């Protein structure tokens, strides 16, 4: 021991190397790019990997509420769909408490280490390097410095691993639930409002597929070899109807002060997870691309993801709130439950949608609820202008996605299906997304506060087409165009085309026509 002390005394750098900042090195390692192995609990967090790679700040989850109201959080988790249960919440709380205790110990050791380092430097100045070996205060300081270093060498790797496991679990917690939300499955949805009347027909109404084929608007047959199951073509007036609906919705929202945006369809998994979607989940609706060619990229199922990414790691000025944005984008859904609605436009892999997204303040706690009500009123204006009968539903707990604090669905009456069908939804996410994606606003005094986010569908094109075709069909087989769409479509009535439909000559038929004979020259 004396020999090692004597060696250390020959160099001030060697003396201080005993006290070099081990924990600081551990902190630096957090910013390096890595792909962690899947842990024992099976969770993997794209968002955490994104943070560890240095692209974004770490999410600041509201663990105070989770720890202080654990029973309430457990009840909320149990009332929702998903694989999380009450024991998972309690384990997350225990991990958080252990992590905080470990960080407190590391912080205290770092503070003591700095104090010892300053004391050793003072002894070197006072006595000189050569006399340090005979000073007991110095030898005790060096010994304590070694003990601190050894303890930090134990704690820092454990803190890093525990931090990773905690976030990979805690990021899966759902949002809190509005106290007025019904508890249960979709059968418990509460009808808030009925708008319009069901249209009465003096004939048996047709479904949208039959109407679309007869009018030359939709083709869904013989496409599996072209674009796979659940694909479709819109043709002629059908294609123009899609454009008309998009422009009609965009015009109405821009007149109300919404900022139009064009958003990317391919986004990183971190943005999906920050929005509350799990791109790596076994039964995820998210389309993930080949990771060998497109690292960590997926196709967006809603414009909400792209707009959220626009605000990620940015602060909005308080005077600009609420920020209302709108985009028209192509959306992609895996639709893994292929037993439901296998035919028609109701459940398809790819479709266009006009999406509203709002960022607002959290000063009174009511700003986002008010913005959601505003969005729902705009949805009602759009569907009333399209002369549809619909109902507004306050959706129950099992129908809320993880980020939703409250969600309203709008279901239009679809006579050909003889049922209501969802054509729109709107959700208040409060600070769930903003805490994960670091979306903040700057107050007038310069302080930062987590924003609240709200999203709502203005027009999901295929389902709105279903409602229009089936609601406004006539006995003659034509479709009356709603007055609000006539300037966009340039038509009052959609009539049967004069051209002869394409004739299928492919192999999947009992009597395939013969191929053309070779030409003679």
Please write the tens of the pLDDT for every residue from 115-152: 888 887 887 777 766 666 667 777 788 888 899 999 99
Is 424 known to sit in a ligand binding site? Answer: yes
Q: Which strands sit side by side in the sheet containing 448-450, from one edge to the other? A: 314-317, 439-442, 448-450
Q: 508 CB contacts (<8 Å, ≥6 apart)?
A: 222
In degrees to the nearest 10, what's the CA dihedral of 84, 85, 89, 90? -150
335 among the known binding-site residues?
yes
Instruction: Look up residue 2 and give its two tokens.
Output: 């004396």
The answer to the question of whether 255 is labelled as a binding residue is no
Residue 410 token pair = 């709008």
List CB contacts of 394: < 8 A, sequence separation 6 or more. Answer: 180, 181, 182, 189, 190, 192, 406, 408
What are 455-493's pLDDT values in tens digits?
999 999 999 999 999 999 999 999 999 999 999 999 999
Cα–Cα distance measured from residue 43 to residue 50, given in angstroms and rounded to the nearest whole number: 15
Residue of 19, 17, 29 whose CA lies nearest to 110:
19
Q: Write out pLDDT tens, residues 146-192.
A: 999 999 999 999 999 999 999 999 999 999 999 999 999 999 999 99
Query: pLDDT digit string (tens) for 31-88?
Result: 333 334 434 444 578 899 889 889 999 999 999 999 999 999 999 999 999 888 999 9
Whether 417 shows a pLDDT value over 60: the answer reads yes
Q: Is residue 306 predicted with pLDDT exceeding 70? A: yes
Q: What is the percent of the chain with per-residue pLDDT over 70, rounded to a whole number?
A: 88
- CA pair distance 432, 25, nearest whole angstrom: 32
* pLDDT given at position 123: 78
423 is annotated as contributing to ligand binding: yes
18 annotated ligand binder: no
The reply to whether 464 sits in an annotated binding site is no
- Residue 125, annotated ligand binder? no
Q: How far is CA 184 from CA 70, 181, 326, 432, in A?
A: 21, 9, 32, 22
Beta-bridge partner residues of 460: 353
Record the tokens describing residue 367, joined without a space: 């700003």
Which pLDDT score is estimated for 5?
34
Average pLDDT over residues 264-284: 82
Q: Which of 72, 111, 109, 112 is nearest to 90 (CA)?
A: 72
Whether 271 contacts 309, CB under 8 Å: yes
* Predicted local distance difference test score (pLDDT) of residue 12: 39
- What stretches of 33-178 show up as alpha helix (H) in DSSP? 46-52, 63-68, 70-78, 86-127, 136-170
Q: Comparing C-alpha atoms, which of 475, 473, 491 is closest to residue 483? A: 491
Residue 128's region, left for phi above 0, alpha for psi from -120 to 50, else beta, is left
Report yes or no: 49 and 34 within 8 Å, Cβ to Cβ.
yes
348 is an annotated ligand-binding site residue: yes
- Give the integer Cα–Cα distance in Å for 433 and 450: 9
Average pLDDT score over the chain: 87
**Residue labelled with tokens 């309690």:** 90
Residue 368, SS3 per DSSP = helix
What kind and span of H or E run contains 317? strand 314-317
10 Å Cβ neighbour count for 476?
10
- pLDDT above 50 (res 292): yes
Residue 360 banded pLDDT, cuts 50, 70, 90: very high
Exposed / middle / buried, residue 122 (Cβ in 10 Å: 0-12, 13-18, 19+): exposed
The structure's pTM equals 0.87
Query: Residue 105: CA atoms inside 13 Å, Cβ hemisphere, count?
Result: 16
| Residue 21 binned pLDDT confidence (cut-offs 50, 70, 90) | very low
Task: Identify the three-state secondary structure at position 203.
Answer: coil
Does residue 351 have a known ligand-binding role?
A: yes
Three-state DSSP at 282 gives coil
> pLDDT (tens digit, 9 = 90+) per residue, 372-398?
999 999 999 999 999 999 999 999 999
Residue 333 marked in a binding site: yes
């Amino acid at each position: 021991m004396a020999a090692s002390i004597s060696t250390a005394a020959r160099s001030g750098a060697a003396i201080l190397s005993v006290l070099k900042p081990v924990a600081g090195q551990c902190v630096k390692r957090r910013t390096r790019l890595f792909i962690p192995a899947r842990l024992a609990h099976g969770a993997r967090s794209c968002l955490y990997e994104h943070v560890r790679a240095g692209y974004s700040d770490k999410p600041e989850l509201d663990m105070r509420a989770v720890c202080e109201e654990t029973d309430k959080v457990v009840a909320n988790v149990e009332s929702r769909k998903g694989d999380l249960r009450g024991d998972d919440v309690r384990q997350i709380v225990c991990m958080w408490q252990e992590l905080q205790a470990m960080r407190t110990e590391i912080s205290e050791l770092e503070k003591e280490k700095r104090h010892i380092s300053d004391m050793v430097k003072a002894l070197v100045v006072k006595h000189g390097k050569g006399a340090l070996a005979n000073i007991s205060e110095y030898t005790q300081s060096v010994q304590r410095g070694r003990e601190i270093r050894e303890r930090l060498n134990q704690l820092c790797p454990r803190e890093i691993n525990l931090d990773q496991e905690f976030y990979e679990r805690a990021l899966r917690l759902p949002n809190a639930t509005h106290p007025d939300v019904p508890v249960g499955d979709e059968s418990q949805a509460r009808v808030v409002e009925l708008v319009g009347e069901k249209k009465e027909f003096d004939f048996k109404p047709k479904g949208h597929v039959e109407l679309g084929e007869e009018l030359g608007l939709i083709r869904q047959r013989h496409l599996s070899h072209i674009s796979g199951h659940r694909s479709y073509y819109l043709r002629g007036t059908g294609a123009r109807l899609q454009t008309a609906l998009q422009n009609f919705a965009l015009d109405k929202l821009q007149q109300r002060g919404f900022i139009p945006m064009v958003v990317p369809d391919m986004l990183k998994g971190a943005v999906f997870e920050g929005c509350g979607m799990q791109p790596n989940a076994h039964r995820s609706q998210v389309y993930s691309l080949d990771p060998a060619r497109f690292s960590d990229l997926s196709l967006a199922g809603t414009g909400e993801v792209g707009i959220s990414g626009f605000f990620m790691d940015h602060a909005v000025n308080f005077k600009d709130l609420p920020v209302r944005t709108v985009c028209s984008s192509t959306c992609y859904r895996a639709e893994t439950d292929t037993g439901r609605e296998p035919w028609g436009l109701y459940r398809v892999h790819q479709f266009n949608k006009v999406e509203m997204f709002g960022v607002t303040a959290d000063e009174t706690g009511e700003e986002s609820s008010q913005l959601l009500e505003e969005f729902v009123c705009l949805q009602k204006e759009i569907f009333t202008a399209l002369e549809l009968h619909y109902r507004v539903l306050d959706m129950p707990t099992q129908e809320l996605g993880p980020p939703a604090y409250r969600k309203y669905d709008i279901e239009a009456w679809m006579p050909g299906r003889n049922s209501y069908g969802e054509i729109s939804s709107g959700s208040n996410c409060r600070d769930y997304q903003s805490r994960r994606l670091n979306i903040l606003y700057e107050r007038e005094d310069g302080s930062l506060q987590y924003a609240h986010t709200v999203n709502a569908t203005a027009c999901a094109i295929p389902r709105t087409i279903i409602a229009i075709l089936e609601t406004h069909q006539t006995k003659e087989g034509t479709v009356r165009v709603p007055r609000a769409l006539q300037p966009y479509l340039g038509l009052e009535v959609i009539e049967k085309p004069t051209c002869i439909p394409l004739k299928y000559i492919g192999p999947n038929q009992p009597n395939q026509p013969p191929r053309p004979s070779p030409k003679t020259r």
